[in-house]
């Protein structure tokens, strides 16, 4: 049974909210030193990356500001290249890139309602 796009959008938004909560009062240095937070953020980025793979192309093209391929690609690196995860890059994605993605996903959710 195929899932509705809104379910994937909710998965993405839930993961972003959890990443925001995990990193809310955390500095980069604290993030570097805390394996549990890293693991939690990485897992949620994996979920986001998997979910974006299920967003149809006709929807993606309406939101070109979302780096769809980069998000999916990061998921692949995190899953398959787990031994070489770049902590600073993961932090940057969590703190700088996800706010834009969140904004676009919220817009997509409103459009699909």
Place of tokens 């995990």: 22
Instruction: Residue 74: count other Cβ atoms within 10 Å of its Cβ.
Output: 23
Q: How far apart are CA 4 and CA 100, in angstroms?
A: 23
Identify whether 80 is a catalytic site residue.
yes
Identify whether 75 is a catalytic site residue.
yes
Q: Which residues contact 71 (CB under 8 A, 6 or more apart)?
A: 48, 49, 52, 101
Please tell me which residue in 54, 63, 75, 89 is annotated as part of the active site.
75
Please tell me which residue in 6, 63, 80, 89 is annotated as part of the active site.
80
Residue 56, classed as helix, strand or coil, is coil
- Give me the active site residues, please: 75, 80
């Amino acid at each position: 049974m195929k899932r509705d796009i809104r379910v994937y959008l909710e998965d993405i938004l839930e993961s972003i909210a959890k990443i925001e909560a995990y990193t809310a009062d955390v500095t980069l240095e604290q993030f570097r030193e805390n394996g549990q937070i890293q693991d939690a953020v990485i897992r949620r980025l994996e979920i986001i990356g998997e979910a974006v793979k299920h967003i149809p192309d006709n929807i993606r093209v309406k939101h070109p500001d979302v780096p769809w391929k980069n998000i999916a690609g990061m998921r692949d690196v995190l899953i398959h290249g787990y031994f070489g995860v770049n902590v600073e890059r993961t932090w940057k994605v969590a703190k700088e890139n996800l706010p834009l993605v969140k904004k676009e996903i919220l817009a997509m959710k409103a459009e699909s309602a």
